[in-house]
A and B are shown apart, each in its own frame.
Chain A
Amino acid sequence: MTVSQSTHNSPGLGPLPAVARDRAADLHFAFVGNLQQVRVTLDAIDAEMAGRNLCPDARDNIQLVLAEVLNNVVEHAFRDRADGALSVTIEIGRDVLHCVVLDDGAPMPGLEMPNGERPEVVGIAVEDLPEGGFGWFLIHRLSEALHYERSEAGNRFTFRLPVARN
């Protein structure tokens, strides 16, 4: 069974032209899904990005979006497990990173990602301010072609991150 949902009309752009592909530049991290391992992985990815002449804003966005997606998997899909398998693969194109995050955890509720609406905060009384809901907003806001697919193997999130270079 495969259930798909996409926020944009195309779930993926299909194969990239060969010229924009650099197979040797792909990054792949597979690890046991916990919050500490997410930190270690984010640091490793940032170290990889440091040498790639990206503008600082792009590097910051990569860290933030991956942090939100990976932590969401650990806190929700792996809620009751310490042995969840999590992986992130990043295919580095010229102007964009193609990211794939796989986990073998519980499905998204309703087999859909939460929408990316920004939680209302302006003009809200302090005691009523939301403490959650910012993560999916940031993911939707900073990524492109965000897509979620559930299969028997688990959850698969794909998205692109633009990388303006210096």
Chain B
Amino acid sequence: MEIIVKAFESATVLDVQAPRIDAAVAIQFKDKVRAAVSEGTGRVILDLSQVEFLDSSGLGAVVAAMKQLGKERPLELAALSPKVDKVMKLTCMDRVFTIHETVAAALAPENVA
């Protein structure tokens, strides 16, 4: 799993280059996110456009990443595939995370606090 870090003025985008965030890579995902956001400030957008499948371990890892980032660096999600969206809705995590249709929408001026 690779995570590409893209620094924008209004946010840091983490582009997850993996078809799955599941039990097999959950720990690796947490470590990669931690490394990716070790520098910088402000919002973090998790670009999930490449991620087709997220299981409960993957969801737990995303929650852990949000907790680790803390209040100063809110973690937001973008570009959910249908399966990922479904898991978010079933678990009500869609009401916890700020979710954007696309990364472009996440970076749009109206979404920048």
State the A residues within 8 Å of B (CB): 35-36, 38-39, 56, 60, 63-64, 67-68, 71, 74-75, 118-119, 121-122, 124, 126-127, 129-132, 134-135, 137-138, 141-142
Contacts and interface: CB of A to CB of B under 8 A. Distances in A.
Interface of B: 20, 22-24, 53, 55-57, 59-61, 63-64, 66-67, 70-71, 82-83, 86-87, 90-93, 95-96
A35 B60 contact: no
B67 A129 contact: yes
Contacts of B53: 63, 67
10 contacts: A39-B20, A63-B83, A64-B86, A121-B93, A121-B96, A122-B95, A126-B66, A131-B61, A135-B55, A138-B56
Would you call the interface of chain A mostly helix, strand, loop, or mixed?
helix
B23 A75 contact: yes
Contacts of B63: 129-131
A146 B87 CA distance: 20
B11 to A, nearest CB: 18
Given A63-B83, A64-B83, A134-B60, 20 more contacts: A38-B23, A39-B20, A39-B22, A39-B24, A63-B53, A67-B22, A71-B22, A71-B55, A74-B23, A118-B91, A118-B92, A121-B92, A121-B96, A122-B92, A122-B95, A122-B96, A126-B66, A134-B56, A134-B91, A142-B90
Contact of A126 (B22, B55, B67, B83): B67
A36 B86 contact: no
B22 A119 contact: no
B91 A67 contact: no
A38 B107 CA distance: 37
A71 B23 contact: yes
Contacts of B20: 39
A60 B92 contact: no
Contacts of A138: 56, 87, 90-91
A35 B91 contact: no
A64 B71 CA distance: 31
B23 A121 contact: no
A60 B56 contact: no
